[in-house]
C-alpha cells in the first residue's frame, strides 16, 4: 500500500465571499451529455461552481475523470448505474483543485488511481491501494476505445500538477481547466501554475487535435450554448482572443497606466463577451492578474 497525500488546492470561487459558501444539493444538479461512444460529460451544476466530470461507461467497467465534489458522488454513482455502466475501475483528475478532485479520496481503495508524472511527484501521504503513473503518457485499452493519459510538456501550467486525457477513437480531448468555455481562465500561480506554461501547454493540446476533435472544457459555458465542447478551430480562436486581451493589458502597462487606470480604461468591445453573465474571472480581475504576473 502506498501512502500519498494529494494536497487539494484552494478553489477559486464565483464571488469573493463564496469562498466560505457550502455546496447546497437543493441548488445543484447533474447535467449529462453524451460526447462519444460510451463517453459522457457530467456537468456538476452546483451553487458554487460548475466543474466537468468525464465518465467512460461500458457494461464491463467505468472510468471517472474529475470526480468533483464529494456531495455530488451519490448522484454520479446513480447516473453511472442508470447508464448500465460497470463498476468504476479507474479514477483520475485533470488537477487537484477542490471543485475537480475533492471526491478523489472516496475512490482510493476501490479503484486504481492513474496519475501523470507531475501529479505523482506532488503526492505525499495519500492512502491509496493502487496507483499508477508514467513519465510521458499512459495507454488504457478499453475494448474499441483507447484512453491516453498525458503529462504536459510544461509541469507548470494551470497548476503544478496537471494531466490531459485523450480518448483516441472517439477523438475526445479532456483538457480540464485549460478551457473555461466563453470565460477568462483561472491560472493558479500560487498552486504551481504559470501563464507562460499554461499557453505553451495549450499549444501541445492543439497539436494533438484535428478538425474533428471534441475539446471538453473543465468549466462549460454559463451561456446558452449549442455544444458544451468546442472544435480545434474554436479553441484556437478562443486562445488567440485571450492572448490579444493580454497584449492590450501589457500595452496599457507599458504606457505607464496604473492597475486602477487600466481597469478604468477597460478592454475593447471585442472582449466584452468574456465578461458577460456568470463567470469565474471578471474583466477587472483578468486585467489585475495579467498586469501583476506578466
Q: Scanning residues 96 to 135, which ones bind Zn ion (CB under 5 A)? A: 97
Which whole-number Å values give the CA distances from 230 to 83, 143, 182, 277, in the listed order?
A: 24, 26, 10, 19
* 62-65 vs 88-92, strand pairing mode: parallel
Does residue 259 sit in helix, strand or coil? Answer: helix
Burial of 131 (0-12, 13-18, 19+ CB in 10 A): middle
Q: Is 162 a residue that touches Zn ion (CB under 5 A)?
A: no
Q: Scanning residues 222 to 281, which ones bind Zn ion (CB under 5 A)? A: none
> What's 8's DSSP letter?
P
Rounded distance between C-alpha atoms, residue 163 and residue 223, angstroms:
27
| Residue 97 or 214 having the CB closest to Zn ion | 97
Rounded distance between C-alpha atoms, residue 91 and residue 126, angstroms:
14
The window from 55-63, 173-181, 250-258, 278-286 that contacts Zn ion (CB under 5 A) reads: 173-181
Q: Considering only residues 145, 162, 177, 248, which one is a binding residue for Zn ion as defined by CB under 5 A?
A: 177
| Residue 140 or 230 having the CB closest to Zn ion | 230
Site string for Zn ion, 68-97 (x = CB under 5 A): -----------------------------x
CB of 195 to Zn ion, least distance (A): 15
Rounded distance between C-alpha atoms, residue 63 and residue 170, angstroms:
15
Contact residues for Zn ion (CB under 5 A)? 97, 177
Amino acid at each position: 500500500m502506498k501512502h500519498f497525500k494529494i494536497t487539494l488546492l484552494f478553489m477559486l470561487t464565483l464571488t469573493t465571499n463564496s469562498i466560505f459558501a457550502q455546496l447546497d444539493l437543493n441548488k445543484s444538479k447533474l447535467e449529462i451529455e453524451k460526447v462519444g461512444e460510451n463517453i459522457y460529460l457530467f456537468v456538476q451544476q452546483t451553487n458554487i461552481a460548475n466543474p466537468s466530470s468525464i465518465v467512460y461507461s461500458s457494461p464491463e467497467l467505468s472510468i471517472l475523470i474529475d470526480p468533483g465534489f464529494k456531495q455530488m458522488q451519490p448522484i454520479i454513482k446513480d447516473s453511472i448505474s442508470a447508464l448500465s455502466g460497470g463498476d468504476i475501475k479507474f479514477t483520475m483528475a485533470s488537477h487537484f483543485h477542490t471543485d475537480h478532485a475533492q471526491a478523489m479520496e472516496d475512490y482510493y481503495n476501490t479503484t486504481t488511481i492513474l496519475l501523470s508524472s507531475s501529479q505523482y511527484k506532488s503526492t505525499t501521504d495519500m492512502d491509496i491501494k493502487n496507483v499508477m503513473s508514467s513519465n510521458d503518457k499512459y495507454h488504457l485499452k478499453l475494448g474499441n476505445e483507447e484512453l491516453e493519459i498525458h503529462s504536459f510538456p510544461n509541469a507548470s501550467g494551470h497548476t503544478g500538477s496537471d494531466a490531459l486525457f485523450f480518448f483516441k477513437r472517439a477523438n475526445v480531448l479532456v483538457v480540464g481547466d485549460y478551457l473555461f468555455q466563453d470565460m477568462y481562465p483561472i491560472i493558479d500561480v500560487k498552486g504551481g501554475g504559470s501563464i507562460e506554461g499554461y499557453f505553451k501547454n495549450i499549444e501541445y493540446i492543439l497539436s494533438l487535435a484535428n478538425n474533428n476533435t471534441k475539446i471538453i472544457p473543465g468549466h462549460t459555458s454559463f451561456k446558452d450554448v449549442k455544444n458544451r465542447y468546442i472544435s480545434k478551430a474554436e479553441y484556437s480562436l478562443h486562445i488567440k482572443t485571450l492572448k490579444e486581451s493580454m497584449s492590450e493589458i501589457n500595452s496599457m502597462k507599458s504606457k505607464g497606466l496604473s492597475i486602477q487606470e487600466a481597469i478604468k480604461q477597460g478592454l475593447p468591445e471585442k472582449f466584452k463577451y468574456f465578461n458577460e453573465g456568470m463567470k469565474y474571472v471578471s474583466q477587472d480581475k483578468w486585467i489585475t492578474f495579467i498586469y501583476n504576473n506578466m
